[in-house]
Structure 1
């Protein structure tokens, strides 16, 4: 595994180091010891799958509030996405900043999103699937979100007219 930090503290790109032979390839997608070497404390508590049949589907930006904030490791296992992490941690040097990453079945990259950051993605191909490893169990009463087009963050999504849930389309403007 190759773990690369980004300019937002705690956010890491995780790439597989595949071992290939005539049968195909094998790669580790998560290792607690490797994460610890990069000062990432992450113990998966739940795994989720998101399937999206339409190109342009946008899910997010979601996070889980205290006392059970959720870190996550997100990998696109089919298709391709534009994946976004938004730093909402008060006191963080990158508070209010966002980063976008292309994740796909071809590049095999994953994104580690720490607690206190919102996460969302937009599908770039039809029939896209994501696999999430979550650091906390989902608690609907703590589910929060930031609207995808909130002017406070000006996220540059690749597809201008996304397919959204009513909940994701109607989050109020964020107040820093």
Structure 2
């Protein structure tokens, strides 16, 4: 299994333009929420928990994140739990609300992603490696941590592999 910095570094190679990274702060959470909503049916409530395909995907994803890094994994598990909660709330609504919310979030999230990649001038990472679909949400959390001055050792390792972030047609701002 690749390490945290190997996954983030590979993903970061496709995401060095600050506008693209900013688009991911909006697009990826919308997509994660959309997947949680859409996979929350069928589901059943057991002991106050909504068990659904979304819960299985979230559990597998959380396990992956926790194996990579405990601190980021705990944050990701918490965010996945929030997505599952929102998905369960929408799953018990009428089909039009559930499906409209899920599909709407999914389409809007991907549109934002593709706008970001227009600025990047590069295809999304998942085109070359499907693991990019799982690493993307972790990348957003890591970038937020880096912006807050946290996990500087991870940021340095990622930038060593991918280079500093920049604005295309401008100077590096890393």
TM-score after normalising by structure 2: 0.27
The higher radius of gyration belongs to 2
Where relative contact order (Cα < 8 A, 6+ residues apart) is larger, the structure is 2
Query: Higher strand share goes to which structure?
Result: 1
Query: Higher helix share goes to which structure?
Result: 2
